[in-house]
Each structure stands twice: as structure tokens, then as C-alpha cells.
Amino acid sequence: MDYPIWSSGLGGGVLMAWVAITHVIVSHFAIGGGLLIVVTETLAVKRADYEMRELARRASLVLILVSTVFGAISGVGIWVVAGLISPGAISALIHNYVWGWAIEWVFFVLEIVAALVYYTTWDKISKGAHLLVGWLYFIGAYMSLVVINGIVAFMLTPGRWLETHAFWDGFFNPTYWPSLVLRTGIVILMAVAFMLWSAYKASPNRRPDLVRYLGWWFFGGALLSYAGYRWWEAVLPDTVTALFLGEAPTLAGLAATRSFTLWSLAIALAVCVLALLLAPRFARGVTAILLMATAFGFFGGYERLREGTRKPFLIHSHLFSNGLLVSQIDEINKVGISAHSGWVALGDPAPEALGARIFAAECSSCHTLDGYQSIREVLPTVADMELVVTPSTMGADVLAYETECSRCHAEIEHAEMVEMLPTLEEIREDPDFVRELNLGMITMSIAGLKEMGSEIVGFDRTTPFDMRTLHRSYMPPFVGTDEEAEALAIYLAALDNSQSATSGGAR
Amino acid sequence: MNPDLIPALDAAGLPGPPWLFHFLLVFTFFLHLIFMNLTLGGTLMAFVANLRGGGRPGDADSVLAKRLMGVNTYAISLAITTGVAPLLFVQVLYQQYFYSGTILLGWIWFAMLVLLMIGYYAAYLHKKFRGGWLGVSALTFFAIAMTHVAVHLIHVQPAKWPQFNISAMSVLGDPTYWPRLLHFVLAAITFAALVAAWWAVRRARAGVDVELNTKIAASSWRWALWATVLQLVDGFVLTAVLPTEVLLGVMRGGLATLGPLTLSIILAIGLLVMLAKASNPVDHPGLVSGTLAALTLTVAVMTITRHQVRVLYLEPATSRFSATIVPQWGNFILFAVLLVIALATVFWMVRRVLTSPAEGDEAA
């Protein structure tokens, strides 16, 4: 939080999602493609099967065009985006796991050189030498997954690392092996999703065979993915599973994501059985598109779940997503965020301007002003208040109450809330009064977030935190002095640029 | 300088002694430069050669352009692959400055990724469709070079961060910006030209398309000669416009800093002499190989000097911090052992491939 602040306008999460989603799809394809292509070529050599050889050959062009550059650039892109939106967080990860990443790079070098050699030596070297290159490619690619999986899984379940801070305790964390099994299944799904297009180019009489052949791979990959997924869920701590499992999950959105994830896999499996295994003759482009969509849906859903359950941490129970270390909370509360970060201190000292910089430092890694996770959207405004107190036969008043008030005041009914608020006439006569009221509510919320920090500091830092006990378990605490909290509240309250709802200016 | 603008050191500490990361950063950056030179210099040269040759089959310039872009099929991928390691190690050693520099550039830094993809796929499309794709590729790689020089100069000058915070583009007005950019571009062209000359000389001496390869070798050789002449001038300009404290730091550094700098100047002058010595490189294969080897050595030595200049730029800032060292020797040894095994495997694989030529039904 002491770095310069970059505002992309899109929201850091959106930008990271773009880069990370494309990268994981391509990189998993690069691994699974390596396996399928070399096994296919091995079978082709054994059976002297020209069509299988051509399938491997065509797929290797996709592999080279997509993986060696797009995969590599998007992988670097994750570092680039993380460095822009959350530098403290990526720095902490790199300082703990630099040797892990260095080892991954070693395998990456082997993977890329082998990929280039493999593609360019078709028709030029002996079958044995070519197969050797293909297998070396797969070994390099898969080993890079074996390494990076440890770092990715560590972020959600650091395990004993919280106590020892030892590299291998974090690496072989509780979700390491389940994640590896799950991702091994996913790499096969991704590979088939891409390779089907190459299989469609086979001669009409061999096409069904090749489609069915890929179908068996997909079937196996789906079962492996399912087994890995259930194992992953089973080893997650209760504090994490409670967020998306059970009768009343803490985060309903994540529970929905889980359903989406598993349904995607079920549909993918059904399409595979029907279209690839039972009736491969009828498999067409739309089949491949459907399999791609459902396989990507499953994979994306799982990644969303993994990221969502980690919220608000980058390294669970150690480092928040905005770069705040748990160990820094007390210190920053004492000296202030302006003393901690020269970039927050730099500029106009007036409360509203200071608040804007505090927002950028503490909140902007997740929130934008008006885009993704819009902060303006969740803040109370004069127009909201007008809607809440204006009787509506269509239920607009209750709806406004539910979206704007009940998240913080669940214990107060709509009718009671109307009693407590000024009347519509009073609001129109003196909107500044409502603005003051809103400022008070925002101030209280920030105070609650600061108080949450004090509770977190009291947690046992050697075990995963149970965030369910906290008021806003999915947010990092506010850190800073009371004056800074006030400056942030003034800035946020001033974001209300709404006009009277009844005059048509409501957002 | 506003010292408070520099973020704190990472609380996790350095997972090894600083000298180890300095060495790894310099070594892996040198590897990256080899392929980056081929990519940037090769694409710029190919663009000009393609314009001159007009894509006519059998024309020396057209064949030169085609060859350079053929090399780039591998060079671009390998430039990216080898670029990952220095990017990792710079984040370990200089995270406070590097991330700050990239954030101050913001979208421009992010755009580098997009440019890289455009550059690569444009190079591929050029091979398929010709047209203006080569120009697109050359332009994007040049823009990436501009971005890297910008982020370098911003990250090493924390005292100017408030100015860059107002306008990152003001880095273009830094006295060292353009000489520094030119320094890298000229080195890249020289390297790519010498590789092209070396290859053409080998082909000509093997009796393959002797006339054509002799022309290509002579043309590439001239590229290398003129790029080196300009490089010498630019090198002195760059040295002259370096901040006084940095220049004094180099002078006061004794053998450690003056040694590599002097050696690289001697090597550059030696390169010029070797390049001026022959007008038809096909007659001097030893000289061509020697010149390419000398240039590779120059790049290695200049990589050291470049790093030392960074250290001197940052010295007023870094001297305020003292990193905790939490070595992970076991993990480093594992990395080193795996690196050796992987490189040996790559070597063995390439050797096996070269010794297993096959045709027809025998081929894969």
C-alpha cells in the first residue's frame, strides 16, 4: 500500500481476470496438448496410422502458435498486472517463492525449446528422435504445472507455512495434491477442446474414429477433474467451505458458482458421451464449441471459486489483497496510512483529496468508482433515501430499502426505517441534511472496518483465520488514524452526485 | 528527493544473498539480450531489406529479409522465454523501484504485452501473406524497446518520481533516453546483421547459392559496420549525458566498474577494425566468426556495465535500506541442479535431432 497508485478505470480485478483466464486456458492446453499430441504420435508410429500422425501434426501447429507465445506472454502478463494493481502482494509472493518460480522457468525453457524443435522437425528427423522431443516437451510442460500448482494452492491454504514460514510447508499445502489431480484432469479437457478442430480435418472415413479417440480422453479427463474437485473440497478447512457449502452458505454468489461449475462438468460429460463416444459421426463444429464452452465453464468456475473463497486475502490469513500484511495493521493504525505511504501523503492535504488517495491505496485493488465493484453504487445517496421514503404501489420503496439499507440494517424493517428517516418533503427541502446522514453512515461503516482490523490482530496467526465471525468477512480492514478514516468518509460521501429521484436524476 | 515515496523493502526478506541475485539477474538478462537482439534487430533489418528487395524471389535483400524472419520464428519465442528470468530476479532485488516505475507508466507498460502479441503474430502473418505485416512487427518491437528504456529510466530515478507521476511521458525528455534507446537498437541491428553474415558465409563456402550468399554476406556485413560506427558515436554521447554522480561513480569504482567499461570500449573499437578489414566476408570466414564471438562478448560485458550503472543510479536510494537475508540454499541448489540438467537435456536433444536426419517413410 506504499506504492504509487495506478487507476486503470476498469478495476484491477477485471484486468487480472482478463489476463489470468486467457493464460490458464492456454497454459493448461499447452500441457494437455503436449500429452495428447505425443501419445497420438506414439500410437500413430506403432500402428503406422497416417491419419493419427496428421492429427498430431496439425495440433502441433496450434500448440506452437498459441502456447509458445500467447501462453508465455499472458503468463508474464499476470506478473505485469499484479505489479500494477497489487505490487506489495506480488512482491510478497515472489520473495517467498522466487526459487519455485525459478525452477518453473527451467522447465519452461525445456518446454519451449522442445516445442519449437518438435514442430519444425516433422518430416525431417527419425520417428524415434521426434517422439523423444515430444515426450521431453510434455515432461517440461507438466513439471511446470507441478511447480506452479504449489504456489497457487499455497495462496488459499498456506497450511503449516503460517507457523513455520518454511518454503516446503507452504508448497505441499493441504490442497496441493487434490489441485494437482484436478488440474491434470483439466489439462486433458482443454487439450481435447482444442484438438477436436484438428480431428475434424481428417478424412471422412477416419474422422469418427479420431473423434471417438479424443472422446475417451475427454471422458477420462472429466472423471479425473471431478475426483480432484471433490477431493479439493474435502480438504478445505470448514472456515472456507462454509462460504459456499451447506444450508446457509456465507457467500450465496459463491454457492451459485459451485453449482455452475459442477453443472458445466456434467453437461460436458454428457455431450462427450453422446456426441464423441456414441455418435462421433455426427460431431460437428457446434459439438466442439459446446465442449469448449462447458469445459471452460467448469475450469473458470473452479478458478472463480478458488479466488472467491480466498477473499479478502492474497495469502490466506497473512496478506490481504490490497497488499496489507496482517502484521502491519497495528502499526499503520498508530502512525497513519499517510506516514506509511509517501504516495498517500503526496498532494492536497484537504480531507476530500486525502480521502481520494486513501481510497486509491486501500480500496482500489477491488473497487472502481463506477465500473466493476462500483463503490458509488453501494454508497447511500439522497436519491436512494427519496426512493425508500416514497410510498410505491409497485414496491419500489421496499426494493430500494432492500438494496440500499438492509445489508447494514437487517434488524430494522422497512416501515421502521421510513419512520426514522426524514419525510420526502423534508429531504427535498434540505438535501444536505440527508448528505450529513449518509456521511454518518459511511463513517460508521469505516469505523466498523477499522474495528475489524483490531479483531483480526487478535487472531492466532499460526492457523487459518475464521473470517465468518467478522462483520464484513470478505473485505480487508480499514487501516489508518481516525482523521484518515474521516477523510475517507468525506471523500466517499462526496461521491454522491445524484439528483432528486423524482426529478428524474437518480442514477 | 522525497525519500518517503520509496516503498518499504519486502518484509519477507531476500531468499538468498544479494550477490547471487545480482549474478542471476545479469546472467539471465544477457541470455535474453541474445534473442532480443535477433528479434528487434532482425525485424528492423528485415523490414528495410524487404522494402529494398521488393519481395522479388532470388533478390539478395528479399532472401535476407526472409532468412531473418525465419530465424525470428524461434528468436521471438526464446526472447520471451529468456526474458522471464530477469523479470523475476529484478522483482526480487528492486521491487520497490521496478513496480513503482511500471505503475507510473501504467497502461503503457501493460500495452507492452499487447504489442508483443501483435509483433509476433504480425511476423507470422508476414510469412503467410506478406503485405504490410512486417512493418507492423518492426514498429511494435521498436515500441517495446521504447517502453523498456522508459521503465528503466523511471525506476532508477526515484528523485524524479513526482515529475513522472504528473507525466510519465516526460521521460522522453530525459537526456539519456534517446541515446540509450539508440544504443540498444544499434546493438540489436549489429548482432542480427552479423548472425546473417555468418550464416551466409557458411552457405557460400559450402557451395550453396554462392553468388546470392556472397551478396547477402556483404550486405549484412555493411549493416554491421555502419551500425557499429554509429554505436561508437552514440556510446560516447550516452556516457557524456549520464548524470554526473553516476559517471563519477563509474570512475571511482576502480577495476570493478572501469574494467568492464574499458573492456567493452576496446571490444567495440576492435569490432570496428575487424568489420572494416574485409569488404567480402566470404573470403574471411575466420574473421566473421571471430567478429560474431567478439560482439557476443561485448554484449556480455556491456550487460555488466549496464547493471553497474543501474546500481549507481539507485545508490542514493538503496543505501537507506538494509534487506534481511533469509537464504533458502536448498532451493537454490535444487534450481541450479535442475538448470544444469535441463540445459544438458536441451543440448542432448538438439544433438540427437541433428544426428537423426530422415526422409520419406523413415521420417516422423
What is the C-alpha R_g of chain B? 22
A26, A87: one domain = yes
pLDDT tens readout for residues A361-417: 999 888 888 888 888 888 878 888 888 888 888 888 888 888 777 777 778 888 888
Instruction: Kindly determine whether residue A110 and residue B346, on different chains, have CB atoms separated by under 8 Å.
Output: yes
A44, A27: one domain = yes
Instruction: Kindly determine whether residue B91 and residue A94, on different chains, have CB atoms separated by under 8 Å.
Output: yes
Mutate to test the interface with B, among A98, A165, A332 (most CBs of B within 10 A): A98
Sign of the CA dihedral with B171 first, then B177, B182, and B184 last: negative
**In chain A, pLDDT over 70 holds for what percent of residues?**
98
| C-alpha–C-alpha distance, residues B271 and B291, integer Å | 6
| C-alpha–C-alpha distance, residues A471 and A448, integer Å | 8
| C-alpha–C-alpha distance, residues B174 and B178, integer Å | 8
User: What is residue A496's predicted lDDT score, i.e. its pLDDT?
Assistant: 82
- The shortest C-alpha distance from A383 to chain B (Å) reads 35
Count structural domains, chain A.
Answer: 2
pLDDT tens readout for residues A223-255: 999 999 999 999 999 888 888 888 888 888 899
**A44 residue type, one letter:** A
What domain range includes position A383?
A: 327-503
| Higher-scoring residue by pLDDT: A470, A337 | A337
Please give the residue of chain B at the shortest CA–CA distance from A108: B81
CB A131 within 8 A of CB A354: no
Q: State which of A280, A298, A320 marks the end of a domain.
A: A320
In a domain, A373, yes or no: yes
A268, A197: one domain = yes
In a domain, A6, yes or no: no
- The shortest C-alpha distance from B279 to chain A (Å) reads 35
For the record, the C-alpha cell of B82 comes out as: 529468456
Instruction: Kindly determine whether residue B103 and residue A84, on different chains, have CB atoms separated by under 8 Å.
Output: yes
User: What is residue A499's predicted lDDT score, i.e. its pLDDT?
Assistant: 56
Instruction: Kindly determine whether residue B342 and residue A72, on different chains, have CB atoms separated by under 8 Å.
Output: no
User: What is residue B3's predicted lDDT score, i.e. its pLDDT?
Assistant: 55
A449, A466: one domain = yes
Please give the residue of chain A at the shortest CA–CA distance from B1: A342
In a domain, A5, yes or no: no
Mutate to test the interface with A, among B107, B110, B115, B321 (most CBs of A within 10 A): B110
Instruction: Kindly determine whether residue A72 and residue B7, on different chains, have CB atoms separated by under 8 Å.
Output: no
Please give the residue of chain B at the shortest CA–CA distance from A133: B349
A375, A289: one domain = no
Quick count: other Cβ atoms within 10 Å of Cβ B341?
12
User: What is residue A506's predicted lDDT score, i.e. its pLDDT?
Assistant: 37
> ipTM for the complex?
0.94
As averages over each run of 10 residues, the pLDDT of chain B (364 residues) reads 79 95 98 97 96 86 94 91 96 96 96 94 87 93 98 97 95 97 98 97 95 96 97 95 95 94 94 93 96 97 97 95 94 97 95 90 85
Domain coordinates of chain B in residue numbers? 9-345
A76, A147: one domain = yes
Instruction: Kindly determine whether residue B91 and residue A79, on different chains, have CB atoms separated by under 8 Å.
Output: yes
> Checking phi first, is residue B222 left (phi over 0); if not, alpha (psi -120 to 50) or beta?
alpha
User: What is residue B346's predicted lDDT score, i.e. its pLDDT?
Assistant: 95
| C-alpha–C-alpha distance, residues A42 and B211, integer Å | 44
Q: What is the mean pLDDT of residues A347-368?
A: 92
Q: In degrees, to the nearest 5, what angle opens at C-alpha A238 toward C-alphas A237 and A243?
A: 110
A296, A333: one domain = no
pLDDT tens readout for residues A75-87: 999 999 999 988 9
Please give the residue of chain B at the shortest CA–CA distance from A54: B364
pLDDT tens readout for residues A151-168: 999 999 999 999 999 999
Chain A partners within 8 Å of B16 (Cβ): 98-99
Which of A29-33, A306-310, A461-465, A468-472 tops mean pLDDT?
Answer: A29-33
Instruction: Kindly determine whether residue B346 and residue A109, on different chains, have CB atoms separated by under 8 Å.
Output: yes
Whether the link from the prior residue into A312 is cis, omega within 30° of 0, is yes
Q: What do you get for the CA distance between the two ends of chain A, in Å?
A: 32
Instruction: Kindly determine whether residue B87 and residue A76, on different chains, have CB atoms separated by under 8 Å.
Output: yes
| C-alpha–C-alpha distance, residues A272 and A211, integer Å | 10
User: What is residue B128's predicted lDDT score, i.e. its pLDDT?
Assistant: 82
- A251: helix, strand or coil: coil
User: What is residue B119's predicted lDDT score, i.e. its pLDDT?
Assistant: 94
Please give the residue of chain B at the shortest CA–CA distance from A74: B113
Chain A partners within 8 Å of B364 (Cβ): 41, 45, 121-127, 129-131
Q: State which of A260, A290, A320 marks the end of a domain.
A: A320
**B64 residue type, one letter:** L
| Higher-scoring residue by pLDDT: A323, A99 | A99
User: What is residue B216's predicted lDDT score, i.e. its pLDDT?
Assistant: 97
Under the banding of pLDDT at 50, 70 and 90, the label for residue A429 is: confident
**Measured CA distances, A22 to A17, A90, A179 (Å):** 8, 19, 19
DSSP A315: E
A311, A439: one domain = no
- B207: helix, strand or coil: coil
Please give the residue of chain B at the shortest CA–CA distance from A53: B364
Q: What is the DSSP string of B348-359?
A: HHHHHHHT-B--
For the record, the C-alpha cell of A265 comes out as: 462438468
Instruction: Kindly determine whether residue B87 and residue A65, on different chains, have CB atoms separated by under 8 Å.
Output: no
A415, A455: one domain = yes
For the record, the C-alpha cell of B289 comes out as: 566468426
Instruction: Kindly determine whether residue A346 and residue B165, on different chains, have CB atoms separated by under 8 Å.
Output: yes
| C-alpha–C-alpha distance, residues A374 and B195, integer Å | 54
What is the C-alpha R_g of chain A? 27
In a domain, A2, yes or no: no
Pick A73's closest partner by Cβ from B13, B74, B80.
B80
A280, A372: one domain = no
| C-alpha–C-alpha distance, residues A188 and A40, integer Å | 13
Size of interface A-B (CB pairs under 8 A): 217
Q: In degrees, to the nearest 5, what angle opens at C-alpha A240 toward C-alphas A238 and A246?
A: 65
Mutate to test the interface with B, among A7, A55, A69 (most CBs of B within 10 A): A69
Chain A partners within 8 Å of B353 (Cβ): 117, 121, 125, 129, 133
Closest CA to B98 of B156, B48, B49: B156
A336, A308: one domain = no
Pick A105's closest partner by Cβ from B88, B100, B162.
B88
| C-alpha–C-alpha distance, residues A371 and A377, integer Å | 9
- A5: helix, strand or coil: coil
**Measured CA distances, B198 to A114, B35, B220, B242 (Å):** 25, 16, 9, 35
Mutate to test the interface with B, among A126, A142, A165, A365 (most CBs of B within 10 A): A126
| C-alpha–C-alpha distance, residues A51 and A44, integer Å | 8
| C-alpha–C-alpha distance, residues A175 and A158, integer Å | 9
Closest CA to A29 of A146, A211, A187: A187
Q: What angle do helix axes A382-389 and A431-457 make, rounded to 10 degrees? A: 100
Chain B partners within 8 Å of A69 (Cβ): 76-77, 80, 116-117, 120-121
- The shortest C-alpha distance from A137 to chain B (Å) reads 10
- The shortest C-alpha distance from B12 to chain A (Å) reads 6
Chain A partners within 8 Å of B15 (Cβ): 95-96, 98-99
| C-alpha–C-alpha distance, residues A433 and A435, integer Å | 5
Give Cβ neighbours of residue A96 (< 8 Å, ≥ 6 apart).
A165, A167, A170, B12, B15
CB B74 within 8 A of CB B232: no
CB A205 within 8 A of CB A231: no
Pick A4's closest partner by Cβ from B77, B121, B165.
B165
CB A491 within 8 A of CB A359: yes
Q: State which of A320, A350, A373 marks the end of a domain.
A: A320
A285, A188: one domain = yes
3-state SS, B242-298, equals CCHHHHHHHHHCCHHHHHHHHHHHHHHHHHHHHHHHCCCHHHCHHHHHHHHHHHHHH
pTM above threshold 0.90: yes
